[in-house]
Structure 1
Amino acid sequence: MNYRHAFHAGNHADVLKHLILTRLLALLSKKEAPFAYLDSHAGLGLYDLLGDQASRTGEYLEGIGRLWQATQLPDAVEAYLEVVRAMNPDGELRYYPGSPELARLLSREQDRLQLNEKHPEDGRLLKDNMRGDRRVAVHLGEGWLVPRALMPTREKRVLLLIDPPFEKTDELQRCVEALNEAHGRMRQAIVAIWYPIKDERQLSRFYRDLQKSAAPKLLRAELYVHAPDDATRLSGSGLVISNPPWGLEDELKQLLPWLADVLGQSQGGWRLDWLIEEAASGKP
């Protein structure tokens, strides 16, 4: 396993993923009933942007670094940036939260987090970073088994984030399999799958497979920082979200154009559409 997320922490793909995650958590928190947050490939939870790995690539400068300097922020960005600011109280950007830390800080006392990380060293660091919060359980196993191992949850509401390293050619296919497994166990689950935008041929197959999946409804949100047909580099990233909570689509219609403008490099752009629309009720 050569992938270590610390090299990419805080880049444009992280910003998209984490902004949407914060909105999902906020919308779930509007109802008093508890929810479970599951993370299949959780990483460390916390990152030092000036550490050896992140500083070696400097990718965060074109991601969270741009938002750190931005003015006239949309309201939907505030919860995300408040967490980052709290981690950097002196005003200098150095520390960055991964998805586990965002979920931990933005969930409530009645909610529960189940985090999984396969990489042995990252898993140990994740346990250290989450120590002391009794709502959090950390598992050191294969991320693809999370839906089978941890679902259904005792909570009726669940948000599952699937964010694999995409080191292997079959991982898009495995994302669809995990989505089907999750909905086979909890049809009402919200499942968010992050993916890179690089190989258009692979993505076309991925989209077709998603449209045939067991998801009751499936929203696609993509952000491009380069032309999406440029296969020589990471052009952008996307998330597909099954059973998105009411209000998310309208928020993303405002957020994505703003992000494309702030984070675009050679060519910013975005897409928001439904891969699976909600089935008609059959009532007249």
Structure 2
Amino acid sequence: MNYRHAFHAGNHADVLKHLILSRIFALLAKKDAPYAYLDSHAGVGLYDLRGDQASRTGEYLQGIARLWRASDLPASCADYLQVLRNLNPDGQLRYYPGSPELARQLTREQDRLHCNEKHPEDGRLLKENLHFDRRVAVHLGEGWHVPRALLPPREKRAVLLIDPPFEQADELQRCVQALSEAIGRMRQAIVLIWYPIKEPGQLRRFYQQLAKSPAPKLLRAELLVQPADSAERLNGSGLVIANPPWGLEEELRELLPWLANLLAQGQPGWTLDWLIEEKTAG
């Protein structure tokens, strides 16, 4: 395992993923009932953008740094930006939240977090970064085992993020298997899969497999910062969301075009559609 997310922290893919995650937390908070947040491949939880790894690639300069400087932010960015301000109170962008820290700040006292990281060193750092919050449990097991190990939780609601490093050729297929297993164990769970946009043929097979999954409904949101004409670079990224909360599709239809223009590195684009539409009675 040589993938370390610190090299890519705060890039355009993180911005898409974390903005959508922040909106899901906001929509779930409209009801008082608690929920559990599960993160299968959690990373270290917090990143120093001026550290050796992030500064070596500088990917955040074309991602979160653009959002940080933007003046015309949509209202749907407010929660995400507040987390960043909390981490950077002097107004200088340095620290960036991974999904666990974003979730920790945007969930409520009655909610619980289960963050799993298999990489030994990253797992140790994750524990150090989150140990002070009693709502958070850190697990050091295999990320693909999270659905069977932690679903269903005692809460009636759950959000599961599946965000593997995509170092192995079969990881898109394993994402579909994890989604199917999660829905099989908790049909109403909100399940998100993040994926890179590189090789079109692989993605077509991925979409076909997703469309055959047992998810009751499945929304696809993609952001391209440059044309998807090279498998050698990260052209963009996407999230498929099983059981998205009501209101998310409408928000994303406004947010994605703005985000595409803001983060463009070439000809940008975006997609928002249903791979599985909810079946209506009758």
When normalised by structure 2's length, the TM-score is: 0.99
Deviation of the 1:232 alpha carbon:
2.7
> What secondary structure, in the 3-state scheme, does the structure 1 residue paired with 2:232 have?
coil
Alpha-carbon separation, structure 2, partners of 1:192 and 1:219: 9
Letter aligned with residue 189 of structure 1? A
The reply to whether residue 102 of structure 1 matches residue 108 of structure 2 is: no
Q: Give the equivalent residue in structure 1 for 2:33.
A: 33
Q: Give the equivalent residue in structure 2 for 1:12.
A: 12
> What secondary structure, in the 3-state scheme, does the structure 2 residue paired with 1:31 have?
coil
* Residues 129-157 of structure 1 deviation map (CA, whole Å, 9 limit, x = unaligned): 00111110000010000000001110110
Alpha-carbon separation, structure 1, partners of 2:133 and 2:234: 36
> What secondary structure, in the 3-state scheme, does the structure 1 residue paired with 2:44 have?
coil
Letter aligned with residue 276 of structure 1? I
> What secondary structure, in the 3-state scheme, does the structure 2 residue paired with 1:272 have?
strand
* Residues 42-99 of structure 1 deviation map (CA, whole Å, 9 limit, x = unaligned): 0010000000000000000000010011111100001101110111111111000000
Q: Give the equivalent residue in structure 1 for 2:82.
A: 82
> What secondary structure, in the 3-state scheme, does the structure 2 residue paired with 1:15 have?
helix
Question: Which 5+ residue runs of structure 2 have no aligned equivalent?
Answer: none
Q: Give the equivalent residue in structure 2 for 1:242.
A: 242
* Residues 153-180 of structure 1 deviation map (CA, whole Å, 9 limit, x = unaligned): 1011000000000000000000000000
Deviation of the 1:35 alpha carbon:
0.2
Letter aligned with residue 237 of structure 1? S
Q: Give the equivalent residue in structure 1 for 2:126.
A: 126
Letter aligned with residue 157 of structure 2? R
Q: Give the equivalent residue in structure 1 for 2:65.
A: 65
Alpha-carbon separation, structure 2, partners of 1:132 and 1:99: 17
Alpha-carbon separation, structure 1, partners of 2:245 and 2:124: 33
The reply to whether residue 186 of structure 1 matches residue 186 of structure 2 is: yes
- Count residues with an aligned counterpart: 282
Letter aligned with residue 187 of structure 1? R
> What secondary structure, in the 3-state scheme, does the structure 2 residue paired with 1:204 have?
helix
Percent identity among equivalent residues?
75
Alpha-carbon separation, structure 2, partners of 1:169 and 1:232: 15
Alpha-carbon separation, structure 2, partners of 1:229 and 1:188: 36
Letter aligned with residue 154 of structure 2? R
The reply to whether residue 225 of structure 1 matches residue 213 of structure 2 is: no
Alpha-carbon separation, structure 1, partners of 2:125 and 2:231: 34
The reply to whether residue 256 of structure 1 matches residue 256 of structure 2 is: yes
> What secondary structure, in the 3-state scheme, does the structure 1 residue paired with 2:132 have?
coil
